[in-house]
Amino acid sequence: MTARIGVVTFPGSLDDGDAARAVRIAGGEPVRLWHGDADLHRVDAVVLPGGFSYGDYLRCGAIARFAPVMETIVDAARGGLPVLGICNGFQILCEAHLLPGALTRNQHLHFRNRDQILRIEATGTAWTNTYQAGQEILIPVKNGEGCYVADAATLDRLEGEGRVVARYVGGNPNGSQRDIAAITNSAGNVVGIMPHPEHAVEALTGPSLDGLGFFTSVLKHLVGAPA
């Protein structure tokens, strides 16, 4: 049976269509979820896409965190539902306290849009199990508020527990502390990533196919998950 992967659309979402396409290319069934509908429609995993939810008013992700769909997602994620937050989705996960820390204005105060090398550091998550530890991948980054920050104790805990999923290589595009590009929760089912794996899933439109592994990983995870 094909895994059903929900992709949430908020007012201002930009990359929900791209995320749904990535799910389909990976072999899953994308299911479109609406921000105002708390029903997850029996999905097996969820992607929170990039964009500018609710116009980024107050703070990026601060309003989206209170959307009806997020109330359900937060509860389901705490129960083990795989959730991937990409860019704005990462910001929403932090605002919802599913992940620690925050994403703030890029240190250089400029929007960055470029192809970026990442090094995968954690392969035990629901979203990275098809990669090799230390593998370098090339996917686009595009953000104005992508600087990951946290207090020193949180950063040390993320490092010590192996919860830094990916780091920037060959230049940090936004000033994120310790070059952090992606992190996970302690259970490994929730991952937030600032660059965009959904933009690197086919040769025609991406700089590589390196992002596809995030989506094939969750399908592999779901196959091995208890019924």
Q: What is the pLDDT of residues 179-203, one digit of tens each?
A: 999 999 999 999 999 999 999 999 9
Catalytic residue among 95, 147, 198, 199: 198
**Structural domain count, the chain:** 1
CATH number of the domain where residue 142 is located: 3.40.50.880
Catalytic residue among 35, 60, 87, 94: 87
Instruction: Read off the pTM.
Output: 0.96
Q: Whole-angstrom Cα distance, residue 180 to residue 175?
A: 9
Annotated catalytic residue 196: yes
pLDDT in tens, 99-140: 999 999 998 989 888 999 999 999 999 999 999 999 999 999
Q: Computed from CA positions of residues 212, 222, 16, 58, in that sequence, does the dihedral angle turn out positive or negative?
A: negative
**Any residues with CB less than 8 A from the CB of 226 and at least 6 apart, and which?**
none
Annotated catalytic residue 198: yes
pLDDT at 225: 66
pLDDT at 224: 82
Query: 149 lies in which domain range?
Result: 4-224
For helices 212-224 and 16-26, angle between their N-to-C axes, nearest 10 degrees: 60
φ/ψ of residue 113, rounded to 5: -135, 105
pLDDT in tens, 51-104: 999 988 888 889 999 999 999 999 999 999 999 999 999 999 999 999 999 999
Catalytic residue among 94, 121, 147, 196: 196
